[in-house]
Structure 1
Amino acid sequence: MAAVTAGSADGAELVVRAARLVTPEGVRPASVRVAAGRVAAIEPLDAPADGARELDAGQAYVLPGLIDSHVHFRTPGLTAKEDWAHGSRAAVVGGVTTVMDMPNTVPPSLSAEALAAKAELVAGTSLVDYRFHLGADPDRPELLAELDPRVAGSAKVFMAGHHTAPTVMRDAGQLEKAFLAAADGGVQLVLHAEDSAVFDLLDSWRGEPGEYTAYERARPRSGGIVAVSKVIELVRRHGTRAHILHLSSAEEADLATAARAAGLPVTFEVTGHHLSFTDLDTRRYGARTRLSPSIRGQADQDRLWEALSAGEPATVGSDHAPHTVEEKTRGPVASPPGLPGVQELAVAVWTGSRRRWPEEDPDTAVRRLVRYLAEGPARLFGLPGKGRVEVGADADLVFFAPDDPWMLSADQVRSKCGWSAYEGWTFTGRVLRTIRAGSTVWDAGTGEFGSPDGRLLGSAVDR
């Protein structure tokens, strides 16, 4: 195999030997030469190191650093649940080197000034690179038309409220203005697409749920179906790019996929927890799997896996949303929805994939994982240098042992909240090493982390 280089590879400080390197062209043996934090060359496996430090991945896959485009690291204002140092540790243990953080903090991140203040708090504490979703302000939706892409290229819209969603667009006029302004400004909307009016109507009739098993009935699929239908109509009217988050039901998947097939700029995300849990698990785990949108039935989970197989979603995300144990042990009304998930995301999806399709070629399975957890979010959100192992890209690499079984225990949880809904699960596959910008930020062999010098990422217009 001939070497692929970006000019001269002289001065490389690291060579990674990969018997199974996952590239956009497929899985192959190769060496990755790293200089100045970027991939300087992709060379034959036995290419000389020329004095550079060497790391041999053995028979582990070497993946591009994974991207979780849906996390809540709770900075500022909610750091009793999570903070950036703990959240980024959880991320790199899970092979994630880049995150995109949501705006529902205290105060919410609704302006360029708020994002700048958040960036100042995060600087020097992050093991991962990061970018922020702006919050769409219900009182000033027109500001999306003026959003500087160097500040943010995406904005979060809540169409339904819950404990940590203070800025909900309940008014149809506000929502339409947001879609129009986002289209004018070229902003990617990311949407919590459930309909507040549906839920308010049900609550006025039934009252709020008195037990966890009644939660799904109070926050049913109809709320998502109605909201996704509204999103599609607004996209049809204004041409806005809309990415539907944590899509949870078969009907929503059908609608979003049909809209895409019709040429509309509608994409969607599936979460690790909707691929991992069903409503039967809520009977066992109670508030630990109380989520928004709520966990659905087996047929819905089957449809989401079918969507992954067919290439329908754009991304798979964690919706990493930790709460304290005290909060999650309150009653059904007071206990907030959400669970930690960035650490477990890749291994949960990998484990589910291997169990669902045990005869599938592992190279095919790992390419699908990379498509949804690296290439897809990098492309959708315009993250330059991310999501692919290729010359000129950031040297973000993950050593992933695909057949290594292990059980998650509470003492392994890196999130500040200290618990996981996956405790006691036996996973197949383990992250052995996570490298960001050519430096190891997590080594499972030693249990050591690297330097918290992750960068605030610019947009494609900056590079």
Structure 2
Amino acid sequence: MDRLTPAPDLVVSGSRLVTPHGVRPGHVLVADGRITAVADTDTAPASAERIDAGDHYVLPGLIDSHVHFRTPGLTYKEDWEHGSRAAVRGGVTTVLDMPNTVPPTLDPEAVLDKARLVEGRSLVDLRFHIGLDPARPELLADLDPAVATSAKIFMAGHHTAPTVVRDPAVLEKAFAAAAEGGVQLVLHAEDDGLFALLDAWWGEPGHYLEYEQRRPRTGGIVAVAKVIELVRRYGTRAHILHLSSAEEADLVCAAQAAGYPVTFEVTGHHLSFTDKDTSRLGARTRLSPSIRGQADQDRLWLALAEGQLTTLGSDHAPHTVAEKTRSVAASPPGLPGVQELAVAVWTGMRRRWPEEDPDTAAGRLVRHLAQAPAELFRLPGKGRIEAGADADLVVFAPDTPWMLSAHDVESKCGWSAYEGWTFTGRVERTLRAGRTVWDAASGAFGAYDGRLLTAAGRTRTAALAAREG
């Protein structure tokens, strides 16, 4: 080490470090919360803390770019303390939170007000997607990247979507402004007008299996086609959230092949459940967009296998049990999932492709739950085990079987659609900035001092100071 590099204060060693260059044995040397080297030899002083991962994987801290931690206004069913505990138990060290709170987060002032509410309450680092204000789409042209680099657009409404863009002229203005400001759009891409037409014809559903009749695949297909046309016209970067059908996946892949900057996310829920599960579990797997059939799920797994999707996300959207047991029409869509995301996807890969080299599966998990979201959302220092990166690390036991019970659920809502599942793979330890924030052996969490991240690498303190100054 040269004189300018501080002596390591932590060494994480193991035979399976998942790096950008593949899986390798070695030592991750850490000083002041950052990785200083990934080395063959442990050169740290004897006083440095040491963690031996053995033959478990050491992953970079995972990034869930799609969570609803419900602050402000909806903290009776989730808050940052509980949501971030769920995250670190699932190996997630950075989250991007959605704007559909009460009030919604629709301008820079609201984003920074929200950041102040979260300060001192988060185990994870964080950033916020700003919400599109249909009355002021031009705000995206001048959005300060120290506040937000991405904007959420709801093209269809549901129980917690207060700012739906129904006017095609407003949607077009938003795409133009986002292109001008270099803002990444993230979209709930379903067509609200189509759904309104079906609602008027069908009436209210009487059973959860009827929900998809009123929220069918055509809603997503129509909306994705509109998004692709606007991307073609303006060159706007657009990321389709929770893509749910085979046709949507084919459309986005075709657009990518044509050179359009459009990408998509798949959730753990859509990879884990089908409409047959909804017949058993009812509202617990009621989502927007809907859980669809086996053929659609198979197409989404193919998108993962071939690297067509960009990010995996949880769409962690907790509701209380009381809310979920309302009438079919009144029960809100959404379920918790940040804690289960990585292990659900890992379990699915190992069961679907049992002959695959586990190192290949680990690399795929890291690509879509760490590297790609860090690149897409401009998260400096995140998503990679390499010198200069933040020392966000996960010790993951790939072969450990365990069953999820309600007792394991960290989300404030207190339930999981995965209760009773036996997973393969368990997060043994999660570190953020070189400090342990979850240790399965002791059941202990770490410090609630997660930072607000910006595209320029500025931290929470600098961003809030700029606002207050």
Q: With the length of structure 1 as denominator, give the TM-score of the two structures.
A: 0.98
| Equivalent pair of 1:9/1:41 in contact (CA under 8 Å) | no
| Equivalent pair of 2:379/2:457 in contact (CA under 8 Å) | no
- Count of aligned residue pairs for this structure pair: 459
- AA at the equivalent of 2:29: R
Matches within 5 A, 1:329-408: 329-408=325-404
| Equivalent pair of 1:6/1:41 in contact (CA under 8 Å) | no
| Structure 1 residue 17 corresponds to structure 2 residue 13 | yes
Identity %: 74
**Matched residue, 2:123:** 127
Match of 1:460, SS state, is coil
Hey, what's the Cα distance between the residues in 1 that align with 2:274 and 2:301? 13
Of 148, 171, 177, the match for 1:181: 177
**Matched residue, 1:266:** 262
Hey, what's the Cα distance between the residues in 1 that align with 2:448 and 2:42? 32
Match of 1:264, SS state, is coil
- AA at the equivalent of 2:67: V
| Equivalent pair of 2:285/2:291 in contact (CA under 8 Å) | yes
- AA at the equivalent of 1:32: V
CA shift, 1:7, in A, is: 6.5
Where in structure 2 are there 5+ consecutive unaligned residues?
A: 460-469
The CA deviation string for residues 305-362 of structure 1, in whole angstroms up to 9 with x for no partner, is 0001111011000000000000001111100000000000000000000000000000
Deviates further, 205-214 or 332-341 = 205-214
**Matched residue, 1:291:** 287
**Matched residue, 1:308:** 304
Match of 1:373, SS state, is helix
Of 228, 232, 235, the match for 1:236: 232
Match of 1:401, SS state, is strand
The CA deviation string for residues 195-239 of structure 1, in whole angstroms up to 9 with x for no partner, is 001100101111121110100111000000000000000001111
- AA at the equivalent of 1:136: L
Decide whether aligned partners of structure 1 residues 6 and 190 sit closer, same or farther in structure 2, where only a CA change above 3 A counts.
farther
CA shift, 1:462, in A, is: 4.6
**Matched residue, 1:164:** 160
Match of 2:249, SS state, is helix
Decide whether aligned partners of structure 1 residues 364 and 7 sit closer, same or farther in structure 2, where only a CA change above 3 A counts.
farther
Matches within 5 A, 1:410-421: 410-421=406-417
| Equivalent pair of 1:278/1:295 in contact (CA under 8 Å) | yes
| Equivalent pair of 2:7/2:45 in contact (CA under 8 Å) | no
CA shift, 1:146, in A, is: 1.1
**Matched residue, 2:436:** 440
**Matched residue, 2:80:** 84
| Structure 1 residue 146 corresponds to structure 2 residue 142 | yes
**Matched residue, 2:100:** 104
**Matched residue, 1:35:** 31
Hey, what's the Cα distance between the residues in 1 that align with 2:46 and 2:95? 34
Hey, what's the Cα distance between the residues in 1 that align with 2:47 and 2:157? 57
Hey, what's the Cα distance between the residues in 2 that align with 1:9 and 1:419? 46
Runs of 4+ aligned residues of structure 1 deviating over 2 Å after TM superposition are: 5-11, 45-51, 460-463
Decide whether aligned partners of structure 1 residues 6 and 38 sit closer, same or farther in structure 2, where only a CA change above 3 A counts.
farther
Decide whether aligned partners of structure 1 residues 7 and 258 sit closer, same or farther in structure 2, where only a CA change above 3 A counts.
farther
Decide whether aligned partners of structure 1 residues 54 and 144 sit closer, same or farther in structure 2, where only a CA change above 3 A counts.
same
Hey, what's the Cα distance between the residues in 2 that align with 1:369 and 1:416? 27
- AA at the equivalent of 2:209: T
Hey, what's the Cα distance between the residues in 2 that align with 1:269 and 1:443? 29
CA RMSD of superposed structures (Å)? 1.1
